[in-house]
Structures are given as structure tokens and as C-alpha cells.
Structure 1
Amino acid sequence: MERVILHLDMDAYFASVEQQLNPALRGKPVIVCGNPNLRTVVAAASYEAKRKGVKTGMSIREALDVCPDVRIVPGDPIRYAETSKEIFRCASDFTDRLEVASIDEGFLDLTGIADLWGGKSALGAALKRRIRQRTGLPCTIGIAPNKLVAKIVADRAKPDGLQVVEPGDVPAYMAHLPVEEIPGIGPRLSSRLADLGITTCADVRKMGEQFFTSRFGAYGSFIFRAAHGQDDTPVVVTPPEPKSMGHSYTLPFDTLDFAFLRSVLFRLCEQVASRMRQGEFCGNVVTCVVRLSDFTTIVRQRVCRGIPPDGRRIFHAAWELFLSFSVSRPVRLLGVSVGGLHHSSDMPLFPDEIRREHLYRCVDDTNARFGEESVFPATFLMEKQVAARVVKTHAFSFWQFRERKNGR
């Protein structure tokens, strides 16, 4: 059966949300950023601002230089996340085969059902109307036989567009497409291809696949297939979002050593933050759980608006909750969780946040590649040093425990 894939992409999403909420901003150049009183960058720009040269990632000063009359609006990630949920609820009215790709874009697999809505164009138009009715926001839709081409079609149909490319039209549609418009081919790779005399998909087709694999390895196959509009990547149905994420840990011994407990709690907060980053979540509630040596369990919560996936921020709230317990008996178990999860914005707004975001991504990538805790905060050392001295150490990837387990 012929695949039918729809790519949904909101237009200048953050800025469009602000323009919808404030009619005075409509038709005006608008940028969304962090606190305008602090050093920050452009997180999003309306199409009116983009036409005057404003780009995402610019400093506010640079944006004002190219567009002096731009309206500066502080970002509201929680509002954007809630609006995003409503957008994808609209999409789920048409099919449950829905992949949420980011806060403002997704893929729908319409295979076998498009005709039930009067055809591909009619279904796309119905989805655009529903999103506009419920949120007031414009979006662009591309429909094609696969995810790659559907995304390209949507990117080229912006803003507020709707375009369908039938399977038989894909070769002609892709032929004159510049290679840099293929998702996954960035400026550096397109520059290397240009040095080889390759600037369009038609140029790629003139060469055999071997030409690209010999120069770019396995990625060469992707370049060759993408230039032909070929992509068999499935729509990965996004599971229901979790309401909370947490970790708990039974200590290797009951203790009132606050330095040790502080180290354990910090490690648990980092674990929670890492999972939140994987799902691109923020939260609203921090919960701390303490179980004492007599099995008494104490649970307390704190509402904190917009908790980012940052272990330090989670820890500060969790440690204050722990201290409020006034613990007088040895602790047996610690736990922490973050609830009220919602999708965070794709881009941090403040320079310090950007640097910390890059650091966390590097740490996450390193640990994913080389193993859990290949890189870890120095605060973990207290827990590791104490646990290494006991026979019944916990199973949280300590080298001494691993060596004993492996008989070394």
C-alpha cells in the first residue's frame, strides 16, 4: 500500500503564540527571548522580523541593529508547551499514528485513511482549520510518500502553506532541489559537496552510490538515497507522556552522615535531570522521599514553576525539603522525583543556560557512548568513597563493585 506521510510544522511558533495572545503584535516584527534586561539571544522571530534580517541565535543588540522597530517579548516556555499539547491533540483527532518530533512539529502516518477525509489535500486543509480554530495559530503542512520528502515539502511551503507531492512526482520534485535543503545536510557538508561540483539533487544522481560511500562512508548512502527522495524511516508513535520522573535508592547502610546523604541525593537529582533531558521535559513539582531506619516514610513536595532538566536546580529544592524533615534517626532510603512534566522549549534563552545546556549534552553523549558515569560531577565522590569502603555496596556503577562482580 502506498505510504502517505504528513509533516506538520508550526510557523514561527513562539512568536506566533505571542502575536495570537496580543493583537497589538500582529503584523509587527517580534522576537522572543529571555529577560530583556539581561544578556540574552533571540529564541524565535516572527516572519515580519525574519524578513528584516533577524535570525534565531542573534544577540538582542544585533537584532535591534537590523530591525530597530522590533518588539521584544520575554519567552514563556510553559505557555508554549501547553499550546503544543493542544496542537497535537488536534492532530490525534485524525490518526493515532502520530510522532511528536519537537514542541512545534510532528509526523502523521495517514496510510490507508486519507481517502476517508476526501483525499490528502482535504485532510491537510481540515487539520490546518482545526488547529487554527482551537489555537488561532498558522501552520504549514507537507504531504508525501515518506518523512524526508514530507519535511522538505513543508519547509518549502512556509508560511501557512499546504502542498502534496504524489509518489510519481517525487523524482521531478527533488531533481532541482539544492542539496543543502535536504534535512541532515548542513553547511559544512554542502560546502564539501560543492567542492565536488555537486549543488543539486540532480548532480547527485549523475554519480553512482559508490562515489559517495567512498568519500563519506555510510553517510554517503544517505546522501545518494535522499537525493532520490527515498526514505523508509517509519513514523514512530509517541507514547503517552509521563506525569513524573523519579529515582530512589536504598543506602548500603543506615546513616545520619549528612555529607554522604547530600551526595546521594545530588546523584539521584542528576539521574532524574538526565532522563528529563532525554525527553526534553521541564517540571513543576519536586518531591523528596525519606525512609528512616524504623521504616517510617516521610514525603514532602514543593511547587516550583518551570523546573528545568538541571540536576543542580532540582537538588536545591530537594535538599531544602530534606532539611525540613528534621531527621533524627538514621536514614535507610532516599528518593526524589519531578512531577507536572511538560515539554521545554527547544532552545535555552540565557547565555549561562546555553553554556550549561551544551555541557549537559556533552556529558550525556559521553556517558551514552562509554558507559554510565564515565563522566560525573565531583559531588558524587563522597558517595563513591564511602560506598567503596563497605562490602555491601550498591549497584550504582562503582568501579570497586564492578571489579568484585567481575572477579578481578
Structure 2
Amino acid sequence: MAKVYFHVDVNSAFLSWSALKKLRAGETLDLRTVPSAVGGDEEKRHGVVLAKSSPAKKFGVRTGESLFSARLKCPELIVTPPDFDFYVQNSKALIAILRDYTPDVEQYSIDEAFLDMTGTEALFGPPLTVAHTIRNRVREELGFTVNIGVASNRLLAKMASDFEKPDKVHTLFPEEVPDKMWPLPVGSLFGVGPSAVKRLNQCGIYTIGDLARTERRVIVGIFGTRGDTLWNYANGREADPVTKQTTRDNTYGNSVTLPQDLTRPEQADATLLALCDSVGRRLRTDGKTARVVTVQLVDNAFRRTSHQRTLPDPTNSTDRLYEVALQLMRQMWPGRPVRLVGVSAEKTGTDNFEQLDLFTDTTRRQKQEKLDRTADALRRKFGGAAVTRAKLLTPDTRAPAALSAAKERDKEKKK
């Protein structure tokens, strides 16, 4: 049976939802029809554009730029503050409609989702018919518009949904890739960021087609194993299935939504250390070690990214967890400000065996274990704040205060 996937993406989600809120409150001006933006407090220098209307885009207003800069481009720009509670309500309403058509819905971010529509044709009709049905229902019942990409895998469905907007349905099946996808700039390919574009351009690769036609070994030589993924993407290949979000057993994790978006690497490092400290302490308290470390980041557009690494030997050392998590975070740091950071330790067990070799610094490892045990004992006796790592005390790098509560919570502990 041929696979069919949809990617449903809300058009200018934050701006559309803010406009909808104002219209429901009785205002007559639809923010979607005038130069407007959703942004933070303009009195603060770090206020940025979270979303903009199509008319604002024509003035050159870009998501992520400062409100000050946006107003220089468009002095008449109407700015409205975000209302994340209202956004979540609309996101849930969207997902509820999508679940009417398939149980296999993966919410990729607050404003987009993948649907596995394989085998549903007998119930709802051909893929294009049901895609238009969903699009119309969202507009008529919820008051905002979506783009829907229809394809044989998630990658192509997501690429298709980025074609002409708003309120459109597009297909991108393998036979359509050369005509529809290959002429696009290489930077429009999922997973290709600004730094990758620069490196590819230096190699004479400017379009997705250029990348697809370049020998795989050349791309792998530029980007390592990631190059293999990019080459496959350029050729329309992506095998990850749509998965239902499930709770994993034997996972110790903490995440925190920050009061302010993280933009400085040092601040992110401190936040990560505090989370690793919490996870490591809980592992040690339960006599557990973990073989897999996962880092999750959510940016200010609620786009979720996660990377993980399997360790050669299990650990519950705070320093070891932090070392691995820091490497992962450096690899995955997005271009947008980050509003949530999470760390989890998985595949846990009670096996403390560690394979040593001639290069293992056993003295350093033993010192770290002793320090961890001593810190844990002091915290049990005098409270969680009795021992704090020096990095978390430095004014320029300290983790946000919101972590003090997160470090003590076991909300995400699954045993």
C-alpha cells in the first residue's frame, strides 16, 4: 500500500491567532490585512518580531529581528503582544480536527503537525479531496487558514506545505521532485541552515537540484554523517514514520521554560548544567546509571529539536552528563532564541561496570564520583541549595531563577 502523509502548517500562526483574538473581542481591523507583527515588550531592547503579516513582509520585516529594526523599515507597523495561552487553545482545536481523520497525528510544533493518512482513502476519499476538506474545516470552524502538503513521506509533505501560501494544498510526490523541488534555493531544504548554505555555495551548490546531483561522498566529505542525511533529503528520501507521542519508561529528565528567551551561549550552558546536575542527582539517589543522553530545545516559535547520544559506558556523573549534553546542544543550537531547554537520561539500569582502557583517567573519574557523593550528602542534610556549582553563581552565566524550582521537580521522572 502506497504511503500518504500530510503536513499541516498554520499560516503565520501567531499573527493569525492574535488577529482572531482581536476580532472575537469586537475589533474590526484584521491584523492579517495590514502591516503588523507579534512581538515582545518594545521598551526592552531584546524585544523581537515573533511573527509578521504578509503586508509587513513586503516592507522587509523579518521574524527574529528587533522591533526597533522592524519599525525603521515600516514606521506604521502595528505591534501586538503574544498570548501563548490563546495560541495553545487554537493549537489544540486544530489537532482535534486532524484526529477526526487519522489517529496517527504527530504534533511537530505548536502550529504544525504530520498525519499518516495511509489506508484512509476508503473512509474519506482520495488524499487531495480530504486535504481540501481539512483545509476548509479549519478555516470555517476555527477562523484561520492552513497550508497542507501531501506526499509519500514526511520530508516531501513538509516541503510541499511551504509552497505558495496561504490557504493552499500542494502535492510533492517523488516524480514531482525534479520539477517542483530541485529548482528551489538550497537554503529552502529542510535541515539546511545559513552556515550550511554558505559552505554549499562555496562548493558551487546553489539549488536543491545541485545538491541532489552532487556525488554523495562529496557531501559527506563536507558535513560528515549529516551530509548523508542532507543528500537523501535533496533526493526526496526520508524514512522516519509518523509516531504517536508516547511516554518512555526508565527515563530521568528535567526541562524548564525560561522567563526570557535564551540568546547567549553562556546562559544556555549554565541552564544545561543545572538540569544535568538535577538529573544526575536523581540517578544517583536511585542507584541508577544511564546509557543515553538526550537534549531538547524549543525555540520562540515552539519548534522542537532534540538530539541524543548513546554512551559507550553507563554513567550517573553530573560532569559526564553535562559534557555530552553540551556537545549535543552545540550541534543543534537553532537560529532562533530558545525558550525551553530539556535534558533526559535514558536506558537506565543498575550496572555500574565501566570498560577502562589505557587512556581512561581513573583518578579524575574517581574524584568526580566522590565529589558527586559528597554534594548529594550535603544536599540531603542541609537542603538542595547547600551546594551550588561555581558556574551557576557567576552573574554573567548563572542559570535563570526558574531553574531553582525545576531542579527539585520530578515531574518528568518515569520509572
TM over 0.5, yes or no?
yes
Match of 1:234 in 2: 241
Assess, with a 3 A threshold, how the Cα gap between structure 1 residues 384 and 122 changes in structure 2: closer, same or farther: same
CA shift for structure 1 position 137? 0.2
Alignment of 1:280-299 (within 5 A): none
* 1:35 aligns with one of 22, 38, 41: 41
> 1:11 and 1:35 mapped to 2: Cα distance?
24
Larger mean CA deviation between 13-22 and 82-91 belongs to 13-22
Which residues in structure 2 correspond to 1:3-402 (within 5 Å)?
Answer: 3-22=3-22, 23-26=28-31, 27-39=33-45, 40-114=47-121, 116-239=123-246, 274-275=254-255, 346=301, 358=338, 361=341, 364=342, 384=376, 386-387=378-379
**Aligned AA (2:8):** L
Conserved 8 A contact 2:110-2:302: no
Equivalent residues of 1:36, 1:74 under 8 A apart: no
Q: Using the alignment, how far apart are the partners of 1:72 and 1:381 within structure 2?
A: 52
Asked whether the 8 Å contact 1:77–1:345 carries over to 2, the reply is no
Normalising by the residue count of structure 1, what TM-score does the alignment of the two structures yield?
0.61
| RMSD (Å) for aligned C-alpha atoms | 3.7
Instruction: Specify the SS of the correspondent of 1:160.
Output: coil
Secondary structure of 1:156 counterpart: coil
Cα contact 1:103–1:345 (8 A) shared by 2: no
User: Per-residue displacement from partner, 1:5-57 (whole Å, max 9, x unpaired)?
Assistant: 10000011111112223331341111112234444211111122112111112
Q: CA deviation at 1:239?
A: 4.5
Q: Structure 1 CA distance, aligned partners of 2:379 and 2:173?
A: 62
* Offset, 1:385: 5.2
Taking the aligned partners of 1:238 and 1:360, their CA distance within structure 2 comes to 18
Cα 1:37–1:7 shift into 2, 3 Å: same
Deviations 1:250-295 (A, max 9, x none): xxxxxxxxxxxxxxxxxxxxx98x34559xxxxxxxxxxxxxxxxx
Cα deviation for residue 231 of structure 1 reads: 0.8
Distance in 2 separating the partners of 1:70 and 1:358: 25
Distance 1:157 1:368 in 2: 41
C-alpha change, 1:215 and 1:139, in structure 2 (3 Å) is: same
User: Structure 2: which amino acid aligns with 1:3?
Assistant: K
Q: Secondary structure at the match of 1:236?
A: coil
Q: Secondary structure at the match of 1:112?
A: coil
Q: CA deviation at 1:346?
A: 3.1
6-15 or 229-238, which deviates more: 229-238
CA–CA separation in structure 2 for the residues paired with 1:84 and 1:381: 44
Summarize the Cα distance change of 1:112–1:170 in structure 2 as closer, same or farther, 3 Å threshold: farther
* Percent identity (aligned): 29
CA distance in 1, matches of 2:119, 2:20: 35
Q: Which amino acid letter does the alignment assign opposite residue 30 of structure 2?
A: L
Q: Which residue of 2 aligns with 1:395?
A: none
TM-score, L = length of structure 2: 0.60
* Count of residue pairs the alignment pairs up: 283
Larger Rg: 1
Give the 3 Å change call, closer, same or farther, for CA 99–388 of structure 1 in structure 2: closer
Aligned partners of 2:212 and 2:18: how far apart in 1?
A: 44
Higher alpha-carbon deviation: 28-37 or 129-138:
28-37
Find the counterpart in structure 1 of residue 394 from structure 2: none
1:255 corresponds in structure 2 to none
Gaps of 5+ in 2: 23-27, 259-270, 275-297, 304-336, 349-371, 383-415
User: What's the secondary structure of 2:245's corresponding residue?
Assistant: coil
Give the distance between the partners of 1:198 and 1:20, measured in 2 at CA.
42
Unaligned runs of 5+ in 1: 241-270, 279-308, 313-342, 349-356, 372-379, 391-408
Q: Letter of the 2:37 partner, please give it.
A: I
Paired residues of 1:212 and 1:220 also in contact (CA < 8 A): yes
CA distance in 1, matches of 2:17, 2:373: 45
Whether the aligned pair in 1 keeps the contact of 2:109 and 2:302 (CA below 8 Å) is: no
| SS of structure 2 residue aligned to 1:108 | strand
**Aligned AA (1:386):** L
How far off its partner does 1:187 sit? Answer: 1.2
In the TM superposition, residue 389 of structure 1 has moved relative to its aligned partner by: 7.5
**Residues 1:239 and 1:114: Cα distance change in structure 2 (over 3 Å):** farther
Change (3 A) 1:61 1:215: closer
Name the CA shift for 1:359/1:383 in 2 (closer, same or farther; >3 Å). farther
Structure-1 separation of matches of 2:228 and 2:17:
39
Residue aligned with 2:115, SS: strand
CA contact (8 A) 1:171 1:229 kept: no
